[in-house]
Amino acid sequence: MHTLTLTRPDDWHLHVRDGAMLASVVPDTARQFGRAIIMPNLKPPVATVDQALAYRERILAAVPEGMSFQPLMTLYLTEQTTPDEIHRAADCQHVYAVKYYPAGATTNAASGVRVIDRVWPVLEAMQDVRLPLLMHGEVTDSDIDVFDREAVFIERHLSRLVKAFPELPMVLEHITTKDSADFVREGPANLAATVTAHHLLLNRNAMFEGGLRPHHYCLPLIKREQHRQALVEVATSGSPKFFLGTDSAPHPKAAKESDCGCAGIYSARNAMAFYAEVFEEAGALDRLEAFASHYGPDFYRLPRNNDQITLIREQERVPEVVDFGGHPGIPLRAGGSVGWRVAAG
């Protein structure tokens, strides 16, 4: 098979930043995806509907002429978020979800939630209006090993949330472990998960191959090979609870190659090619379309896209360096090649 035509996919978890960086990265996503759920972890966070609407305008201004990409906005959940703001979000046609960061869990998560019980009334309001909760599922306690933080989040928080909110759509974002894959697969229908390309492609050796590799550092961390295999299994299984979310997260090269380097992998440029590689390797190319283009909109109760993209089975070189608003950035697999490319137009 040399070409693969699919319903246009969507990215259900994406960071595009702001300003000059935003202008550089949005075209990479807009070339492939019809829509993307936009993460709100700017500085300051996108915590209100008004802020989300203003951010949406800035994103739309970065979409190249002739492309019809739609940013789906989210609100950053803080301990100050009110049920009223949730009702405003539900009435706004551009806000699609609320993002939960445990305070301090990752980039710009300082305004996140310290004590989950403090946001209980807000979660109840979200359940009433069926506004999805997107979770960065890690605990941040210093006595919990960084590789175990996702599994402990499930034990301590997610099990309880799932019992307490049977009607709240919940997405465990960027799952990295077999524990999460099993929990979501066996969980109730209102619980789903996004899976990144990098967690499907890499195991944790990638962070230490021949030296310390900051461009493979992301959160939650990439895990052992057995976890990678479990993710490939569920992503390619045909279960509608698992769908595409790149978590593409650009940082300038200098911010990653530093004494305290930032977490985040920039995969947007070749995102669909990376997923196609994974599905091909698993002998499941026939299931790529549902994972990338059907299950996400179905979960969010949105129509599927009505146009298509074509992937061509051809080696394409990934540049060594890309431009992030005047700063060099290093994309996933920089200087290497991918086995698929997206046809122009």
Residues taking part in catalysis: 247
- Packing angle of the helix pair 271-281, 225-235 (nearest 10 deg): 90
The DSSP annotation for 81-143 comes to --HHHHHHHHH-TTEEEEEE-BTTSSTT-TTSBS-GGGGHHHHHHHHHHTPPEEE------TT
CB atoms within 10 A of CB 140: 18
Q: State how far the Cα of 122 lies from the Cα of 133, in Å rounded to an integer.
A: 10
Cα–Cα distance between 312 and 341 in angstroms, integer?
Answer: 5
Nearer residue to ligand DOR within complex by CB, 131 or 219: 219
Binding-residue pattern over the window 54 to 93 for ligand DOR, x denoting contact by CB under 6 A: ----------------------------------------
In the chain, the largest separation of any two C-alpha atoms, in whole Å, equals 53
- For ligand DOR, the binding residue among 263, 282, 284, 312 (CB under 6 A) is 263
Among ligand DOR, Zn ion, none, residue 85 binds (CB under 5-8 Å by kind): none
- Is the bond preceding 71 in cis, omega lying within 30 degrees of 0? no
Residue 176 vs 305, nearer CB to ligand DOR: 176
Nearest approach in angstroms of CB 174 to Zn ion is: 6
Compute the chain's Rg from CA coordinates: 19
Provide, rounded to whole angstroms, the least separation between the CB of residue 261 and Zn ion.
16
Q: Is 147 exposed, middle or buried (0-12, 13-18, 19+ CB in 10 A)?
A: middle
Contact segment (CB under 5 A) with Zn ion among 155-163, 245-253, 290-298, 302-310 equals 245-253
Asked if 161 touches ligand DOR (CB under 6 A), the answer is: no
**Judged by CB, which is closer to Zn ion: 28, or 247?**
247
Binding-site size, ligand DOR (CB under 6 A): 10
* Among residues 123, 249, 292, 322, the one that binds ligand DOR under rule CB under 6 A: 249
Closest distance between ligand DOR and the C-beta of residue 262, in Å?
A: 6
Kindly state whether residue 264 participates in binding ligand DOR, applying the rule CB under 6 A. yes
Rule CB under 5 A: is residue 138 a binding residue for Zn ion?
Answer: no
Report angle CA 36, 42, 46 to the nearest 5 degrees: 75
Q: Could you say which of Zn ion, ligand DOR, none residue 24 binds, taking C-beta under 5 to 8 angstroms by partner kind?
A: none
Binding of ligand DOR by 206 (CB under 6 A): no
State yes or no: residue 247 binds Zn ion (CB under 5 A).
yes
Least distance to Zn ion, CB of residue 160, Å:
23
Alpha-carbon span 91 to 130, nearest angstrom: 12
Residue from 31, 35, 136, 333 in contact with ligand DOR (CB under 6 A): 136
3-class secondary structure for 216-273? Answer: HCCCCCCCCHHHHHHHHHHHCCCCCCEEECCCECCCCHHHHCCCCCCCCEECHHHHHH
In the bound state with ligand DOR, the residue whose beta carbon lies nearer, of 109 and 290, is 109
Residues that bind ligand DOR (CB under 6 A): 15, 41, 106-107, 136, 218-219, 249, 263-264
Residues that bind Zn ion (CB under 5 A): 247
